Every structure is written in structure tokens, then in C-alpha cells.
Structure 1
Amino acid sequence: MCQTPNHCAYPAHIAAFSLTFTRMSASPVKVLFFSAKPYDIASFNQHNASYGFELEYLETHLGPHIVNAVDQGTFAVCVFVNDKLTTEVIAILAAKGAKVIALRCAGFNNVQLEAAKKYGITVCRVPAYSPEAVAEHAVAMLLTLVRKTHKAYNRVREQNFSLNGLLGFNLHGKTVGVIGTGRIGKAFCKIMLGFGCKVLAFDLFKDEEMVAAGVQYTTFDDVLRQADILSLHCPLTPDNRYLINQDSLGKMKQGATLINTSRGALIDTHAVIGALKTGRLANLGIDVYEQEERLFFKDLSGSIIEDDTIQRLLSFPNVLVTGHQAFFTEDALSQIAETTLASIHKLSKGLTPDDALIVQI
């Protein structure tokens, strides 16, 4: 997941603002959730005991196909990473009387912010929720790939205790490149320093705490050239779409490892597949995927997946894919629910939330 823009490798050019309005009715504040899963429902219901909102949950994602189902009088819609807040959707929400789009995530690349401004809808998000959760998942993916523990697990369950094919390498002494040193990137850097790695970073804004800890800031190309391991921790913006492409892959070390727990479209998947085929990349770990909205958060075990690109990725023995799981800890879910509901509560009172950034162009 992404971090606060002014601490990321590529700024989203946003500014904070507050939209003040007064509730004209004493009726409960209605919040309609999209892309709601059982764990969302349990967490938000638990934290709603302090607020008394009227919560309604829909499993479907928000898009033009369902937006007309939003009831008049819905104060806020609560959405997640794969909901589509297009201009059309936002216009209909405004016509229905919705005042708030509450993102229960940090990233907001799925929201047309200019349309929200035009129609007077406030957009709030959760700028920080357990950044350690995402950073630790990135490290878990890295360790799994370089020590092949996933292969060992399956092998031993079949009573095969051979070590052939399980040769890994030490992280200690390796050079780790980190793109984006926001909250999650910083947490990842600290862990890698603890492993005894040399940590290089690229970000438009140096973090002095990281410099003091031993992180060396340098250019993007220099990080690519030196890194044995490259981990992405920046938001997705129009400027950095396909940040990892055929050109940048060509600048990386032969046999490097790439980890992405941020946004799928930071990577040109077809270029990465080419790099895996030639050995330019020795390992790939992704918790995000450009076309993930068709796949992730769903049980497709009994279905035929028509996405040939993800099927090709899954065919590589040195590729590890998880389904946008990095944020998924008890700690993070609790923080997401509390921050989101607190923001909606303050907005319903005409106040500006303390924790969630109100974003708008």
C-alpha cells in the first residue's frame, strides 16, 4: 500500500482542504460500503459501537454498474482499492446526496479527484495504518523467494527431504534498493538494515531519520544499477506508471530480485516476464497486479482464469504472487476501521478529521 505523497518517490500534486457542511437531520449517518468482505464487516461493526452509524455492506465493487443502487440520503460511501470512482460515478453520487467518499486505504489513484471537487464531495483516506504490516509482508516475500521456503514446505509434506534445488543466498551484505521512503518504505529500510544490508533509496525528499540510520539516497538509475534486491514503496501516479519497464529492467543487475507491494501498474508486466525469461530477474514477488480487480479478493479456484498474463507469471518457479495481502493484519484492520469512522464522524459534524488527509486537487 502507498504512503503520504510528500514522502513518496513521485508526488501526486495534491493539497489538503476541508469541506464544511452541517447535517440537517438528526437521523443516523448512513454509510454504504462497497467491496465489503466478512473481515471488513466484523471490524467496522466492532468499531461502530462508538459512533452509531447506519452501516450497509455490499460485496460488489463500486462502478457505473451499481452506483444507481445508492440510496438518497447516503452520507458516505466507503470504498477500497479496486472500486472505480469515475466522473460518471461521482456525478451520480452527488445527485444522490452523498457528501463523502471514504477510502479505507492509503492510495487514491482510483478516484477522479477533479470530479469530486467539481461536485462538492469530500474525499478522505487512511494515510497510515500499520506500515509495518506491508513492510513485513515485503520481507516475508523476499525471504520466501531467496530461501525457497515455499518449495521446501511442499517438498517435506511429500516426505522429500532432499536439498537439491533449494540453494538460496544470504541477505546479509547484499545491496537493497528502496523506491519511496514514506512510512512503509521507512519500515522496510529499517528491517533491511537490521539484516545487515546496504540500503540505497530513491525519493524526491530525503528522510533525515533514514540518513542517520545509514540509508544512502541516490538517483533512480544508480539504485537500479547497484541493487541486488529492489523493493517498490511509492504510490501510483500518472508520472510513474510502468516505472519498471524494459528500459529500467535493462539497467538492473543481472539476477536481481524485484518486490512490489505498492500498486500493480508500477510494473510493466510483459516487460517483467521478458526479464524473467532471460534471467535478468532471478526472482519476482508481487502482492499487487495491474489487472487485479478481476482476480484479487475472490475465490476463483473453481473457475477458468482467462488472464493469460497472470497465468504466465504463475508458471515461473521463481515468481511468488499474493493477492493484495500485505495490509491484512489484525492491527491494520483495526486502525483502518477506527480512522475511517472517526473521519466520517468529524465530517458529519462539519469538522476536519485529524488523522485522515482530505485530498483534493
Structure 2
Amino acid sequence: MKILFFSAKPYDRQFFEKSNESYGFELEFWETHLGPHIADAIKKDTFEAVCVFVNDKLTAEVIAVLAEKGIKIIALRCAGFNNVDLDAVKKHGLRLCRVPAYSPQAVAEHAVAMLLTLNRKTHKAYNRIREQNFSLNGLMGFNLYRKTLGVIGTGKIGAAFCKIMLGFGCKVLAFDPYENEELKKLGINYLPFNEVISAADIISLHCPLTEENRYLINAETLLGMKKGAVIINTSRGALINTKDVIEALKNGQIASLGIDVYEQEEKLFFKDLSGSIIGDDDIQRLISFPNVLVTGHQAFFTEEALAEIASSTLSSVAALIKDENPSDKNAVLV
């Protein structure tokens, strides 16, 4: 069986080839992302599966081409699936799987790292010291202890983040349509969304992107927050209306912003653009703010997470090709 990988980086090859020692699939890696521009380049009846990532575009048009080329399985090596036309997958009789929980701790810990960096300004201190500037002016932060934290989405990643922040002595409020009883026993209080964001000093987003919550953070909800709140987003870029959050940064409604995701990231992230002129004015504006921290979809990037992504993906593909259910039933979407 042959699997074609899109958006493949050297680390993808490393971890998938290691995991494939248990399966013996033929793996082919393409650096380009999957979209209408490249789907026709796939040789007919050569591959049985494609493996894709967060910024690959699986539109109805692309899925129709994949089906015509003989693809039977689409494997997402990520948890989110907002980039896939599920109706088209069903229409063409393809199977679709994902990695629902590769390492919640990896993403949760990165969210904490972003929060601590923004608050205590360790990135600025590092650069100062390298220039032999030992001044503390402009580096003042605040204690996380006893601050009110608002967590939007308490799935596996959100739950891991909640538990970490309880260790800092924070008061944790949460919003999720499905309340986690274990978290409630730990003292986490579930409230309606508007009540959470109005009470929180820090808001961290840990929910999937759906049509219902697109631009969850917008001009109206930003005004409903405490003045001077901190926002962290390690989930999906389009949860935040970028233009609205820029205005909120300019007028001081929010004190700082940490994002590992961006609504137009497919044009930027996972690429070395150091020698290019970036025409995206919004990301350029965000990068220019001293109280904004941007990382390039890095939250998942740990050895443990990559090993689990490779193992889970190949395990699901092996099961589906035999018409069996993967060990994690949540891995199968269609």
C-alpha cells in the first residue's frame, strides 16, 4: 500500500518512517500543500491514501479528483478538520481519519509558555542581556497567583491547560457546551461564554473551529472583556477576527495577545520567508506590537506529540484499509 504525504517536512519523514517500521507501507513525501493546484499531479491508481495537515485544502473539487485518482483514505495528521469538505468525502465514498488526541499536554504547555513570556517579558529580557543592557525598566509583569482565568473549550487540551493553571493558584472559569465533571470536582466553575470573558483576566482558547464559533473573538466580544485582559489562542486562527483584535490592542482594551495560529496562516506558516516581503498587512501589524507574541503553529511540536501523530495515523490507516475500526473510534470521521 502506498501513502502520499502533503505539506511534508523533514520531521514528518523522520517520525513516520520510524513508525512505519511496524507497518511496511510505501511512503512518498511531497513538500507542497494539497489544493486544486496540485491534485491533478497525483498519478491515477498509484496511491491508496493521502496524509494531510492543517493547511491542506480538501475542497469538494480536490476530493473529487482524489476519488478519481483511486484514493480510498484521507488521513489527517492533526485533530482539526475544518479544512475538509465532509459532505464531499461521503459523496465519493472515501474514508477520513484524524488524530483526535496526540498530546494535549504539548499544546497546553505551549499556551502556558506564551502566557508567561508575554507577562514576564522573558523574550525582551533575553535580547536586552545579549546587548549588555541589564535594566529592568519596561519588564514588569504580574503574579498569575489568584488571577481569574477563562478557558474556552475544555476538551483534552483545554482540560490539560486548566489543570496546569490550577497549579499556579489561578481561579479557573470555563465555557464548553459539554461540561467536564472531573474538572468541576477540581473546582473549575462553568459559566456562559459572556460571563467567562467578562470576569477573566486571561482568556485562553481551546476549541475547534466551526461555522458557529468563527470569529468568536470580535469587536463585540472584545468590548465585553475586562479592560486589559490577555488573550491566548493555540486552537484555530479564525476564532479571532484579526482586524478587530488589532483595534483592541491599539485602544488598550486588551493588554496583550499570544497566538500560535492565524486565520491566513496557510500563506505563511511552516515556510522560511526571511528573504521575502510579506504582503499580509494584518500579520505585519501584529508582529509590530510590543505586546503581541506570534509563534508559527508550534504548539504541537514536541517529540512525544510527533511520535504519537505518526503512530496513530498509520494505525488508523492500517485498520481502515482492512475495513476494521481503529482502536480509537474518535479517529474516524467518515
TM range (shorter): over 0.9
The one-letter code sitting in structure 2 at the alignment partner of 1:39 is Y
Deviates more, 1:71-80 or 1:188-197: 71-80
Deviates more, 1:66-75 or 1:267-276: 66-75
Alignment counterpart, residue 349 of structure 1, candidates 317, 322, 331: 322
| 2:330 equivalent to 1:359 | no
Match of 2:305 in 1: 332
1:83-94 equivalent positions in 2, closer than 5 A? 83-94=56-67
| Partner Cα separation in structure 2 for residue 159 and residue 43 of structure 1 | 40
Alignment counterpart, residue 39 of structure 2, candidates 45, 62, 67: 67
Q: Secondary structure at the match of 1:290?
A: coil
| Partner Cα separation in structure 1 for residue 179 and residue 68 of structure 2 | 43
Alignment counterpart, residue 18 of structure 2, candidates 46, 53, 71: 46
Q: Secondary structure at the match of 2:255?
A: strand
CA offset digits 1:79-111 (Å, max 9, x no partner): 000000000000011011110000000000000
1:1-361 equivalent positions in 2, closer than 5 A? 29-73=1-45, 74-355=47-328, 357-360=331-334
The one-letter code sitting in structure 1 at the alignment partner of 2:33 is H
CA offset digits 1:243-300 (Å, max 9, x no partner): 0000000000000000000000000000000000011110100000000000000000
| Partner Cα separation in structure 2 for residue 55 and residue 314 of structure 1 | 37
| Partner Cα separation in structure 2 for residue 196 and residue 212 of structure 1 | 16
Structure 1 position 71, deviation (Å): 2.1
Question: What RMSD in Å do the two structures reach over aligned CA positions?
Answer: 0.6
Indicate if the aligned counterparts of 2:316 and 2:331 stay in contact, CA closer than 8 A.
no
| Partner Cα separation in structure 1 for residue 233 and residue 42 of structure 2 | 35
Indicate if the aligned counterparts of 2:53 and 2:77 stay in contact, CA closer than 8 A.
yes
CA offset digits 1:134-180 (Å, max 9, x no partner): 00000000000000000000000101000000010000010000000
Post-superposition, which runs of at least 4 consecutive aligned residues in structure 1 deviate over 6 A? none
Q: Secondary structure at the match of 1:359?
A: coil
Unmatched 5+ stretches in structure 1 = 1-28
Q: Secondary structure at the match of 1:230?
A: strand
Structure 1 position 30, deviation (Å): 0.6
The one-letter code sitting in structure 1 at the alignment partner of 2:162 is C
| Partner Cα separation in structure 2 for residue 121 and residue 58 of structure 1 | 21
| Partner Cα separation in structure 2 for residue 48 and residue 68 of structure 1 | 27
Q: Secondary structure at the match of 2:333?
A: strand
The one-letter code sitting in structure 1 at the alignment partner of 2:105 is E
The one-letter code sitting in structure 1 at the alignment partner of 2:3 is V
Query: Greater relative contact order: 1 or 2 (C-alpha under 8 angstroms, separation 6 or more)?
Result: 1
TM-score (norm 1): 0.91
Q: Secondary structure at the match of 1:257?
A: strand
The one-letter code sitting in structure 2 at the alignment partner of 1:33 is F
Q: Secondary structure at the match of 2:243?
A: helix
Aligned residues: 332
The one-letter code sitting in structure 1 at the alignment partner of 2:331 is L
The one-letter code sitting in structure 1 at the alignment partner of 2:90 is K
**Identical amino acids, percent of aligned pairs:** 70
Unmatched 5+ stretches in structure 2 = none
